[in-house]
Structure 1
């Protein structure tokens, strides 16, 4: 009996395309990390990360070839120089991997509900499962080395209590209520994410070839530092610890291991993830003053992201993603009014 071949939907094509671009970048990154790592446990984590990225690229390539869909250019060995001096420490490699797997879990979980074909669902379920394994492995190594930074502890509830006053939503004037567990979680997480972003972009600002990119990266450093300061203020006001900085993990070198194209894409990807994080945090932060900060930062980071896209377009580094047919253009080509 002949089986009807079901075409890929727009969401499936878009998810697979983005998966290829991102993991082709991570293949380059982890090849460089593995050329520099010294610690045996960290090396094992990086080998696992590289293997997963290569598997994901191969999986998408196979599907696209079978469908007759163009294979994205993504990133290749031309975008990485494994002979370049060390830019980041072994500890940074672990922190980076932990944060990238956190982002991957969010991304894959967002794509999965919009997939329909069995093989595509299996692909993204496999991506989620393998990312969870890498997340756990990286967390265990960080804990064993005493490097993992836990979120703050708060008292256990001794009884159930209901919110009775509108002051629960207040935040600008008068007495402020203590932060909720969800608000603490997002403030703490966003501080960590911005510390990671500051470290990555500091390294990139040192080694980027184009002056325009160096200036763009320096601007990103200032934006991240400002957000860290604001988010830390709320934790300090509630006598809660603030995550430590990793700036010292950036080494003193000006020779770039990555192409400017790759570095700009990575910052654009991290910026987009940050916007998503703030949207999630906003929905879980009833205090008006905190919610207002997330709204303000979403606008600021949105403008920064747009400037990054303009740079990618200017230097012809931005691949056009899968898109709907331009019917008007098709009609113009055939001189149809």
Structure 2
């Protein structure tokens, strides 16, 4: 990196993914440390170590960059937020699924971060992260496949020929005049079921080890929302005689001793809600049947309210770090 490049100030497009990424990396770092201390399958352990190494690499880069820029380093999550003496809470199969979805989220997040960053050193950082996230996705998917537990979206028959749509009713989703789901819609429904199922299982584990009543109640509410959304999406698949993926509640142990702080579990739950809204937005944009768009709009609104309530609870507990932003000009006025 040249001397001139070093003195280019960070833009909001650089700061946003760096700051948010530092919080999420420190959170996932704690989760992976618990995984590493409780994993039993020798095939799964190296992938956990690989993912843990990535979170540490990301945090080291951001730490140095923040120090060089004289930018406050987020407090985020530390060893105080993870109890490595706690018993196993998740099965090895669930750990693999979590790692796979880390890879999926990483390929999306780092692609957006790469596009929003302007400085060469930060672009290089996200370019590297994009490749390693894809590698994590490949490693975890390959192991899931080898063990016969890789969730697959439903198979559909190949078409005999290329066709054009000739009726406007193709867009309808009304009973009696409803076309079957197309491949894009099936894929999105399957992915949203999978992500909700993984979140539902995670919140099931969190709810039985959380300590404060308000946090427990909030996580249980999120667990129930995820369960309801899974049922909604499953019903849409069943209407076309398509199979729905399995759920993962049985992959959670009966431990009552928490591996994580309530602060971390609340943040993780709100984080999942935010990701869910993004997933539904993408699915909404890709769905051409009007009943599906209505469903995604309704469920997105429900998650939005839930995420907002979680943010309020985080603030109430003094656990929300303020995101860097523009100057509050009105506060500078001498009135």
Q: TM-score range by the shorter chain?
A: over 0.9
Paired with 2:299 and 2:106, the residues of 1 have a C-alpha distance of 22
TM-score with structure 2 length normalisation?
0.97
Tell me the secondary structure at the aligned position of residue 103 of structure 1: helix
Corresponding residue for 1:63?
A: 65
* Gapped regions of structure 1 (runs ≥ 5): none
Task: Give 1:323's match in structure 2, choosing from 322, 325, 332.
Answer: 325
The alpha carbon displacement at 1:182 in A equals: 0.4
Which range moves more in the overlay, 213-222 or 312-321?
A: 213-222
2:196 counterpart residue number = 194
**1:6 alignment counterpart:** 8
How far apart are 1:234 and its partner, in Å?
1.1
Measured after TM superposition, the shift of residue 173 of structure 1 is 3.7
Asked if 1:46 is matched to 2:37, the reply is no
- CA deviations on 1:281-306 (whole Å, 9 max, x unpaired) are 00111111111000000100000000
Q: Deviations over 1:229-259 (max 9, x none)?
A: 1100111111111000111001001110000
For residue 174 of structure 1, report the CA deviation from its aligned partner. 2.3
In structure 2, the residue matched to 1:237 is: 239
SS in structure 1 opposite 2:43?
helix
Distance 1:272 1:126 in 2: 25
Separation in structure 1 between the aligned mates of residue 219 and residue 18 of structure 2, nearest angstrom: 29
Tell me the CA shift for residue 2 of structure 1.
6.3
Q: Bigger shift: 303-312 or 96-105?
A: 96-105
Residues 119-138 of structure 1 deviation map (CA, whole Å, 9 limit, x = unaligned): 01011111111111111000
Paired position in structure 1 for 2:157: 155
Q: CA deviation at 1:264?
A: 0.5
Q: For 1:41, what is the secondary structure of its paired residue?
A: coil
1:36 match: 38
Q: Is the 8 A contact 2:13 2:118 kept in 1?
A: no
2: CA distance, partners of 1:19 / 1:170? 40
1:294: which partner in 2? Answer: 296
For residue 145 of structure 1, the aligned residue among 147, 168, 175 is: 147
Matched, 1:23 2:20: no
Deviation (angstroms), 1:154: 0.8
Counterpart secondary structure, 1:280: helix
1:330 deviates by 2.1
Aligned 1:122-137 pairs, distance under 5 A: 122-137=124-139
- 1:112 to partner: Cα distance: 1.4
TM-score (norm 1): 0.97
Q: Distance in 2 between matches of 1:128 and 1:320?
A: 27
Deviation at residue 114 of structure 1 after TM alignment: 1.0
What is the root-mean-square deviation of aligned Cα atoms in Å? 1.1
- 4+ aligned runs moved over 3 Å, structure 1: none
Looking at structure 2, the residues matched to 103 and 256 of structure 1 have their Cα atoms a distance apart, in angstroms, of 25
Change (3 A) 1:68 1:229: same
Q: Identify if the C-alpha distance between structure 1 residues 22 and 163 changes in structure 2 by more than 3 Å, giving closer, same or farther.
A: same
- In the alignment, what sits opposite 2:256? 254
Q: How many residue pairs were aligned?
A: 333
Distance 1:2 1:245, change over 3 A: closer
Matched, 1:165 2:167: yes
CA distance in 2 between partners of 1:256 and 1:191 (Å) = 27
Q: Distance in 1 between matches of 2:164 and 2:301?
A: 34
Q: Secondary structure at the match of 1:40?
A: coil
